[in-house]
Amino acid sequence: MISRRSFLATTAAATTAIAGHPLFSVAHADDGFLEITAGPTLKKLYHEDAKASDLWLYNGKTPGPEIRVTVGERVKVRLTNNLEEPTSIHWHGIRIANAMDGVSGLTQEPVQPGETFEYDFVVPDAGTYWYHAHNKSWNQVARGLYGPLIVDEATPAFDPEHDLTLVIDDWRLQKDGSLNVASLGHLMDWSHGGRFGNYLTVNGRSRPNFELKEGQAYRLRLINAANARIFSIAPESFGALVLAYDGQPLPKPEKPAYSPLLLSPAQRMDLLVTPERDFAFEELSGDTPYPFAFFKVQGRQDTKKAFLPLVPNPIPEPDLTNAKTYTIDMTGGAMGRMVETVYNGKVLTGEDFPRTGQLWAFNGVANLAEDPFFKIKRGESVILEVLNDTSFLHAMHIHGHHFRVIEREGATIDDGQPWRDTFAIGPSQSARIAFVADNPGKWLFHCHMLEHAAAGMNTWFEVI
Ligand code: C2O
Ligand code: CU
């Protein structure tokens, strides 16, 4: 029985990580393309005596290699598919040209086994992003197909050695220490809170140590790569300030508005930490806090390196007076209200639910319909009114755009309404989000709890 309330921990002392990138590197081909290969890799996730896991990774690494570019740069990546099933890469949070968004079946044909696909796009915003498989993501991401995508400011705000990326994931291991593959696609996970793991890693390692210098300012970039787990953390306990959410900087570094802060699947958070003593990140959603990354203060930095303030990215402000409003009613799941649900143009009844795996719906439609949920002219402002009529929290993500959460439960939000690409909405809650539909193409709006997306919480809109 997998408990979502406790984690396995390796007994051996975790190795010490050297602070600073590059932790990873990607090879450039002669034509300027970064070579990324998706393929099966046998790897020991758990301790050395444990059985190796049948992972699917980018360039054989977990997480995949850190792709690090500069804002405004043109990024060229050649994906080679060495898997036995089709795949594609989505560049999460990048306001990208539609044809490069990497959504199998919507923005591109899936890349077949043995084939390649060339991604070629410009990164308009500095910040913390990530990339991951976008074909059967519930399976491919759970097996390891994801990596960090960091877009540096024109002049990087922090020195490389004071700028750390932490990719967090929870894996579901079985008794022999290997990835539990048999439980992938389990209907119980799909109808409840999604797939939870019992082994938490940061950059592929359990409970790593990082060495920091006392009194020096650091940027810690957190990326939640888990299929469904929401991490609860309390960065104010070690005096951290929030620099950015989902890649987009706050006007100035701020104390967290809530405690604990939730980091939902796919969300990112950049923190500013100036350590005076040792500290640890703790996962607080369980019965007892689980420390999952340790920071040790090793001496003082003699000459402290200053950092530059983060400048806002050029995201257009929505015009709330003239915005078009669309309502999404989220239904389904365990303990949820079942409405008449249409899937692939036909009404689902009784046995269809376990057979098709469709268990959730937006406005009574499970997964992508032939026609977009709405079509809108480029440049118009959109308000999405989202009603969570289910018993679970969901982490809702929009492709190709960032938005502001302007209202929750009918009340205006006054915490500055930071830009986001993914927002959490609790059971029975409602929220309104707003953005300018300024990016032409076909865009997904889906739950980033990947089992929920696969089981119906997925729709699309078109900007023309
Ligand atoms: Cu992070 Cu539709 O994706
Ligand atoms: Cu969900």
Q: How far is the CA of 89 from the centre of ligand 1 (A)?
A: 10
Q: How far is the CA of 314 from the centre of ligand 1 (A)?
A: 22
Q: In this structure, which ligand is nearest to the CA of 190?
A: 2
What predicted TM-score, i.e. pTM, was given to this entire model? 0.95
Distance of alpha carbon 165 from alpha carbon 167, whole angstroms: 6
Distance of alpha carbon 247 from alpha carbon 268, whole angstroms: 7
Closest ligand 1 atom to Cα of 132: 1
Q: In this structure, which ligand is nearest to the CA of 450?
A: 2
Which of 230, 245, 177 is closest to 424 using CA atoms? 230
Distance of alpha carbon 264 from alpha carbon 226, whole angstroms: 9
Distance of alpha carbon 224 from alpha carbon 6, whole angstroms: 18
Residue 452 in contact with ligand 1 by CB distance below 6 A: no
Which value, in Å, is the radius of gyration of the alpha carbons in the chain?
21
Torsion of CA 370, 372, 377, 380, to 10 degrees: -170
* Record: fold of 19-155: Immunoglobulin-like (2.60.40)
3-state class (DSSP) for residue 255 = coil
Could you tell me which residues are beta bridge partners of residue 397? 422, 446
Q: Please, which residues have CB within 8 angstroms of residue 105's CB and are 6 or more apart in sequence? A: 135, 368
The amino acid at residue 246 is: D
Checking 403-411 for CB contacts under 8 A at 24+ apart, the result is 403/318, 403/433, 403/434, 403/435, 404/318, 404/433, 404/434, 404/435, 405/431, 405/432, 405/433, 406/320, 406/432, 406/433, 406/434, 407/431, 407/432
Closest ligand 1 atom to Cα of 444: 2
Report the nearest-CA residue for atom 1 of ligand 1.
92
Q: Count Cα atoms within 13 angstroms, Cβ side, for 27.
A: 8
Q: How far is the CA of 423 from the centre of ligand 1 (A)?
A: 12
> pLDDT in tens for each of the 464 residues of the chain?
345 556 776 544 454 444 444 444 566 777 889 999 999 999 999 888 889 999 999 999 999 999 999 999 999 999 999 999 999 999 999 999 999 999 999 999 999 999 999 999 999 999 999 999 999 999 999 999 999 999 999 999 999 999 999 999 999 999 999 999 999 999 899 999 999 999 999 999 999 999 999 999 999 999 999 999 999 999 999 999 999 999 999 999 999 888 899 999 999 999 999 999 999 999 998 888 999 999 999 887 777 888 999 999 999 999 999 999 999 999 998 888 777 889 998 898 888 887 888 999 999 998 999 999 999 999 999 999 999 999 999 999 999 999 999 999 888 877 779 999 999 999 999 999 999 999 999 999 999 999 999 999 999 999 99
Task: Tell me 99's DSSP state.
Answer: G
Residue 90 in contact with ligand 1 by CB distance below 6 A: yes
Residue 397 in contact with ligand 1 by CB distance below 6 A: yes
Tokens read off for 225:
């790569």
Report the nearest-CA residue for atom 3 of ligand 1.
92
Residue 221 in contact with ligand 1 by CB distance below 6 A: no
Q: In this structure, which ligand is nearest to the CA of 453?
A: 2
Q: What is the pLDDT of residue 22?
A: 45
Torsion of CA 23, 27, 28, 33, to 10 degrees: -90
For every residue of 290-359, DSSP letters joined together read EEEEEEEEEEE-SSPPP-PPPPPP-PPPP-TTT-EEEEEEEEESTTS----EEETTEEE-TTHHHHH---
Q: Strands 403-408, 411-412: parallel, antiparallel or unpaired by DSSP?
A: antiparallel
DSSP H or E segment with residue 450:
helix 450-454
Asked whether 149 and 131 are in contact (CB, 8 A), the reply is yes
Q: Please, which residues have CB within 8 angstroms of residue 443's CB and are 6 or more apart in sequence? A: 98, 101, 398, 399, 400, 401, 460, 461, 462, 463
Distance of alpha carbon 269 from alpha carbon 423, whole angstroms: 12
Cite the residue boundaries of each domain of the chain with CATH code 2.60.40.420. 19-155, 169-298, 324-463
Please identify every residue whose CB atom is under 5 Å from ligand 2, which is an ion: 394, 447, 449, 452
Peptide bond into 208 cis (omega under 30): no
Residue indicated by tokens 């190709």: 400
Does domain 169-298 fall under CATH 2.60.40.420? My reply is yes
Q: How far is the CA of 196 from the centre of ligand 2 (A)?
A: 13
Does domain 324-463 fall under CATH 2.60.40.420? My reply is yes
Q: In this structure, which ligand is nearest to the CA of 398?
A: 1
